[in-house]
C-alpha cells in the first residue's frame, strides 16, 4: 500500500479522493482534461431505474461560498447507464467505480441496485437517500431511521457488493439515521449531501429556483459536514465517506481526522475541472507539513 492509500469496505484505493456524484458526470467527460486514473475512484451521476429529465429551469444558482442546485436527478436511466455510459468510462478509467443510486420506492432502489451490482466495473453501491431536490423519494427515506433501514435491508437482500448509504444533513439527529443504517446491514456511510436552502429574486420577488428550494453545496457547508462526520464516527463502526465543501488537500486531512476513510469532492469540480487532480498532487507536501507519514493513520485522529 502506498503512502496515500486507504481501504474502503475492503477495496483498496490508491488515495482517498473521490469526485462526488452529480459533479463529475459519468467520469469520461473529465478524461479530456486529465488522466482520471489518478483518482481513488469516482461516484458517477445519480442513477434511477427510469430516465429522468430533472426539474425545470432555473435549477442552478450561485451564492456566497457555494451554490444551490435543484437539478432533480436528471439521468438516462439504469439500462442506458449500463449499455452506454459504463463502456465509455471503461475506456478511460481502470479502477472499480462507485455507483450512485437514487429511487422513489423500495422497489426502484432494489431494481436499480440489483442491475448495477452485476456490473464488473462497480465496486460499491452508494445509495442516495438524501436528495433534497425531488418530491416523493430521496430525502423522504433519509430523514426517518426506520425508512432508511428499510432501504438498506431491501438493497442488501439483492446485492453482493458493499452498500454505502448517503445521508442527508437535513435532519435533527443524523446519528440516529446512521445507527439505523448500520444495524440494518449497511457496509458504509456517505455524508453529507447538500443542505436544503433558498434564494429569492429581488426583481420577481419569488424564489429564484423553479423548484423553490435547492441543495446548498460548496465551502459554506464544510464545517457542518466535518461536525456531522465527527458525530457519526463516534456512533458507528462502519467506514465513512466524508463530503461537503471539500476543496483542498487540507480539507481532505481535516475530514479524515473527523473520521472519514475516504473523501468526496463535489462543487469544487464545477469551479475547476482539475480540482481533484490538484488536491491529490498537493497531499504529499501537506502531509509533510503536518508530520503525517501514512494518510490512513489520520482516520478518526481527532477523537480521544
Helix (H, G, I), strand (E, B) or coil at 57: coil
The bridge status of strand 262-265 relative to strand 240-242 is: parallel
Residues noted as catalytic: 131
Distance CA 63, CA 22 (A): 18
How far is the C-alpha of 276 from the C-alpha of 193, rounded, in Å? 18
Q: E strands of 117-191, at which residues?
A: 122-128, 163-166, 188-191
C-alpha cell at 97: 467505480
Strand 214-217 relative to strand 66-69, pairing: antiparallel
Cβ-based burial of 55 (10 A; exposed 0-12, middle 13-18, buried ≥19): buried
In the structure grid, which three cell numbers stand for residue 82, read together? 449500463
Coil, helix or strand for 225? helix
> Quick one: DSSP state of residue 19?
E
Amino acid at each position: 500500500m502506498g503512502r496515500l492509500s486507504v481501504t474502503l469496505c475492503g477495496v483498496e484505493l490508491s488515495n482517498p479522493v473521490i469526485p462526488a456524484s452529480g459533479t463529475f458526470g459519468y467520469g469520461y467527460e473529465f478524461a479530456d482534461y486529465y488522466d482520471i486514473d489518478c483518482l481513488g475512484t469516482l461516484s458517477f451521476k445519480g442513477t434511477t431505474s427510469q430516465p429522468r429529465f430533472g426539474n425545470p429551469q432555473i435549477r442552478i444558482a450561485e451564492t456566497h461560498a457555494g451554490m444551490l442546485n435543484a437539478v432533480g436527478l436528471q439521468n438516462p436511466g439504469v439500462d442506458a447507464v449500463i449499455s452506454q455510459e459504463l463502456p465509455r468510462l471503461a475506456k478511460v478509467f481502470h479502477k472499480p467505480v462507485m455507483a450512485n443510486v437514487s429511487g422513489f420506492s423500495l422497489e426502484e432502489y432494489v431494481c436499480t441496485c440489483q442491475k448495477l451490482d452485476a456490473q464488473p466495473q462497480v465496486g460499491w453501491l452508494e445509495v442516495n437517500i438524501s436528495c433534497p431536490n425531488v418530491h416523493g423519494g430521496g430525502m423522504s427515506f433519509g430523514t426517518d431511521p426506520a425508512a432508511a433501514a428499510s432501504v438498506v435491508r431491501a438493497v442488501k437482500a439483492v446485492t453482493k457488493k458493499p452498500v454505502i448509504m448517503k445521508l442527508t444533513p437535513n435532519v435533527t439527529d443524523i446519528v440516529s439515521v446512521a445507527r439505523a443504517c448500520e444495524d440494518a446491514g449497511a457496509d458504509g456511510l456517505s455524508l453529507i449531501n447538500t443542505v436544503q436552502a433558498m434564494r429569492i429574486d429581488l426583481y420577481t420577488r419569488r424564489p429564484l429556483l423553479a423548484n423553490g428550494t435547492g441543495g446548498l453545496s460548496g465551502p459554506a457547508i464544510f464545517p457542518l459536514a466535518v461536525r456531522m462526520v465527527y458525530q457519526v464516527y463516534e456512533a458507528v463502526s462502519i467506514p465513512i465517506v466524508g463530503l461537503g465543501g471539500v476543496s483542498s488537500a487540507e480539507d481532505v486531512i481535516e475530514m479524515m481526522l473527523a473520521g472519514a476513510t475516504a473523501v468526496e469532492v463535489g462543487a469544487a469540480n464545477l469551479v475547476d475541472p482539475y480540482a481533484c487532480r490538484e488536491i491529490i498532487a498537493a497531499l504529499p507536501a501537506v502531509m509533510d507539513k503536518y508530520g503525517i507519514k501514512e494518510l490512513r493513520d489520520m482516520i478518526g485522529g481527532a477523537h480521544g
